[in-house]
Amino acid sequence: MRYALITGGSRGIGAAAAVRFARLGWGVAVGYHESADRARTLVEGLRGSGVPALAVQADVADPGQVRRMVDNVLENFCQLDILVCAAGISHVGLISQIDEDRWRRLFAVNVDGVHHCCRAVLPHMLERKSGSIVTVSSMWGQVGASCEVAYSATKGAVIAYTKALAKELGPSDIRVNCVSPGAIDTEMNAHLSPDDLAALAEETPLGRIGTPDEAAAAIAFLASEDASFLTGQVIAPNGGLVV
């Protein structure tokens, strides 16, 4: 059996990825920060499908909490085959109006969080000379978005981190790839009005908003043997909005 740790796993794309991995027969650790009830409910459902599952709490911005989270996973599973870095927060507003604390928190979660998680799992993966890491960026990390400068900057950093780490870890047979979703129907986009969502759907060549499961499918593909010769790549389930 193979085992996955998914940060941001209690909701949105992370939760969809947890369900998809469980359907494939993987053991799943659902990482969460504050949504304990949602994480436990999800884990109960995953266990009901017949796979090992546990909920593990950590603020990914805190390296000590991340190390304890990974130690917990390894104590329970004894093995970790894939890390999915799906934890993230967003911010919408003019760059002139974001305060320093919010700017720092965005980078602490979205960029430092990826780094802390990768650092924590690497000793295990390097010892085994095996493993896969999938980061989650955004189409705005590829092209930038007006009134989302800070968020776009963090997600662009995730793409650069992914590409560089893939080159570093390739000789150890550890693959590192990125999923960069477009407009997906998750709570992160709940601030958008129905008119805004309709406009995004109209701009998207496929004519609709994506689902969390469609983004999760890209994550699962990158973790699979079908992607065994892919590393340093950005897969973009965005309906053609960014090419």
- Interval 181-218: pLDDT, tens: 999 998 877 777 788 889 999 999 999 999 999 999 99
Q: Pick the catalytic residue: 3, 32, 151, 161?
A: 151
Convert the pLDDT of each residue in 13-70 to its tens digit: 999 999 999 999 999 999 999 999 999 999 999 999 999 999 999 999 999 999 999 9
* 15 neighbors 186 (Cβ within 8 angstroms): no
Show the tokens assigned to 43: 């884990």
Q: Where are the domains of the chain?
A: 3-235
pLDDT score of 7: 98
* pLDDT mean over 100-104: 98
| CB proximity list for 118: less than 8 A, separation 6 or greater | 83, 85, 133, 165
Mean pLDDT of the chain: 97
Active site residue 151: yes
Task: Provide the phi-psi class of 239: left if phi over 0, else alpha when psi is between -120 and 50, else beta.
Answer: left
Assign domain 3-235 one CATH number from 3.30.365.10, 1.10.3720.10, 3.40.50.300, 3.40.50.720: 3.40.50.720
Closest to 1 measured CA to CA, from 75, 114, 81? 81
Residue 190: the pLDDT is 73
pLDDT of the residue at 197 = 87
Q: Quick: pLDDT tens for 127-186.
A: 999 999 999 999 999 999 999 999 999 999 999 999 999 999 999 999 999 999 999 998
